Amino acid sequence: MPDTFRAKSWQHFKELAYSKNPKCVVYVIAQSVPARDHTGLKLILPVQGAQYIFTDTAKGDTMRRTGIPVRTDKKGSRFLTDEDVKRFLRTELQIKNLQIFSYWTA
């Protein structure tokens, strides 16, 4: 089983991604019940012998550490979209042939 390490900041996670040159990044969008009260994001960087994890939580209309927008539906429930997460990762991690997977589709 690989060792697990926590990235302390988005910048640290980004630096790890460039230095480790991963084939993919996996993300998990977490919604608490009720969803309007908590939205979380976990990014996982799987590399040979280790995995690096970065977590982020919502603050207002954006994620606290990455700035990814938090959407609100007609009922007031807050959520992240796969498209927003993928767009952010592609923009920030310009690594050739990097694949981005949701935990549910990995």
- For residue 90, give the CATH number of its domain: 3.30.720.90
Count the domains in the chain: 1
Q: What's the token pair of residue 72?
A: 């609100």
Q: Does 106 score more than 50 pLDDT?
A: no
Q: Calculate ∠ Cα 20-25-28, nearest 5°.
A: 140
Q: Does 100 score more than 90 pLDDT?
A: yes
Select from 49, 69, 66, 61 the least CA-distant residue to 3.
Answer: 49
Model pTM score: 0.89
pLDDT single digits (tens) 36-80? 557 899 999 999 999 999 999 999 899 999 999 999 989 888 889
Question: Which domain range does residue 89 map to?
Answer: 3-102
pLDDT single digits (tens) 9-29? 999 999 999 999 999 999 999
